[in-house]
A and B are shown apart, each in its own frame.
Chain A
Amino acid sequence: MYKENTIPVVVKTIQIETPFVKRFTLTAENGYILPGFSGGSHITAYIEGSEGLLERAYSLTSYGDNNESYEISIHLSETSRGSSSYWHRHMKIGDKLRISYPKNYFQLSYRAKHHVFYAAGIGITPFLSMMAELCERGASFELHYAAKSREFCAFYHLLRSKFPRQCHFYFSCEKAPKKLTYESLQHHPIGTHVYFCGPESFISSFKDAAIALGYPYSSVHYERFTARSSKSAAPFLIELLNGETIPVSKEQTLLEALLEKGMKVPYSCRAGRCGTCELKVLKGEIDHYDEFLSDEQRNSNSVILSCVSRAKSEKLLLEYG
């Protein structure tokens, strides 16, 4: 499976941002310089929790030419038994962990004439670096940010001082409550790109509203972080068109089992990323582990990347052989 290269880092500072949000700065363990990153980037943090290795994505909330440290901001989730509670309750200054290189799947549009950010709660985090990059470019943007109150509004003071003209706050639990609605989507001039980040329901309602108004898909951006579960591999069977049945053991990938039988399945990366080893599935349920297929293809349950993915059901019938 794809195992990415990581950077060893140390927790340098921990600050309380709101009653539920803490900010952590990380520096490279060996005094190394950290890679630069673009607005909207995140890192994957790997920490050794009580229930094994925890893997979570966090937006980088610092920005600029500071290559000595990264900052991430973590919201303590009430139901959390995993990562956020570890960060809030156990992480200390000086603790070591590994992080991925910066990745960006929430990049700013280049062609946009105007950028509008809609954030709810901790959804603010990717927008900090994005707004900083737009400032640097001299581009036009605005932020609409919903939180319970000033006290629970992460980065409230920073935003007000850095981007005073661009920020609009919506506090639902203050004396004169203000609600962030998608009414404002009607007024954005042609060439605007909108970006949504927050709870799933927030993202989908804003996204649907924009599309209903006629926004093209390419002007609507959003980021969801979904944790990938890492289950342990189980053996399964495959059946080929010629009737042959081949077992795939726990230690083996489907691709390996086929190659071992002398079948010439094309492959290249063996990491679930290049798409070369794709095979058609006629029957059976697939457990996808790749980083190549679209959600649509995944849900169709009809193609499998044989170098990493496995069967959920006991047996898969392949259109092969």
Chain B
Amino acid sequence: MKQESGDTPMAAFIPGKRKYLFCFDEIGMSLLEKIMADIRAKDIPFEIFHFSHQESALPAWLSSQKMGCYLYIAVSRKYLYQIMCLAEAAGFSEEEVQLIGYGDKEIHLFCCRCHSITELAAAANKHAEQLCSCCGLLLTVSSHYSPLRNAYLGYPAII
């Protein structure tokens, strides 16, 4: 499941599923409105889950679903990774989920020298050089991403 970065992506309708699942927070709801309206109009089964109201019930809701479902997750980028992991743990695969994140997201930078992770506040900083918060090496942020570390690789800025 890839995390979108940058601008808020549009949710795309994926046809041919027996049921659609929508998980969102306040703002995320508005990003899914159009698709939800379409699905209502077509009379296709769906379920919604309001993340801000019932967060702790999410794992159980996800696990109770059957094969053939398709899940949309539209939440603040702050929670996207965490919810994606919950969906994966429940058995959803990349092919069964669409992630729509909005807002700024922290970027994690992996220091090539000491392996520690530096959190960069906003996506805007992405292209600037950054100091490793642990060993102090000046790093350039690359586009090389590790899903396991949930981080981008930082190469030495000066050789």
Interface residues of A (CB under 8 A from B): 111-114, 185-192, 210-219
A212 to B68 alpha-carbon distance, docked (Å): 8
Minimum CB–CB distance from A78 to chain B (whole Å) comes to: 36
Q: A189-B63, A190-B67, A219-B67 are in contact. Are A214 and B91 (CB under 8 A)?
A: no
Measured between beta carbons, the chain B residues less than 8 angstroms from A192 are 67, 91
Contact check, B93 vs A187: say whether CB atoms are below 8 A apart.
no
Measured between beta carbons, the chain A residues less than 8 angstroms from B19 are 214
Contact check, B66 vs A188: say whether CB atoms are below 8 A apart.
yes
Contact check, B67 vs A215: say whether CB atoms are below 8 A apart.
yes
Q: A111-B93, A190-B90, A190-B92 are in contact. Are A214 and B69 (CB under 8 A)?
A: yes
Q: Give which listed residue, B17, B65, B95, contacts A190 with CB less than 8 A.
A: B65
23 pairs, A vs B, C-beta closer than 8 Å: A111-B88, A111-B91, A111-B93, A113-B90, A113-B91, A114-B91, A186-B66, A188-B67, A189-B63, A189-B66, A189-B91, A190-B63, A190-B91, A190-B96, A191-B92, A214-B17, A214-B18, A214-B70, A215-B67, A215-B68, A216-B96, A218-B95, A219-B67
A218 to B17 alpha-carbon distance, docked (Å): 15
Contact check, B91 vs A216: say whether CB atoms are below 8 A apart.
no
A217 to B14 alpha-carbon distance, docked (Å): 14
Q: Would you list the 4 A-B pairs with minimal beta carbon distance, nearest first?
A: A191-B91, A214-B68, A216-B95, A214-B17
Closest to A191 in B: B91
Q: How many B residues touch A, CB cutoff 8 Å? A: 20
A214 to B69 alpha-carbon distance, docked (Å): 7
Minimum CB–CB distance from B38 to chain A (whole Å) comes to: 16
Check: B32 CB closer than 8 A to any chain A CB.
Answer: no
Check: B62 CB closer than 8 A to any chain A CB.
Answer: yes
A73 to B20 alpha-carbon distance, docked (Å): 43
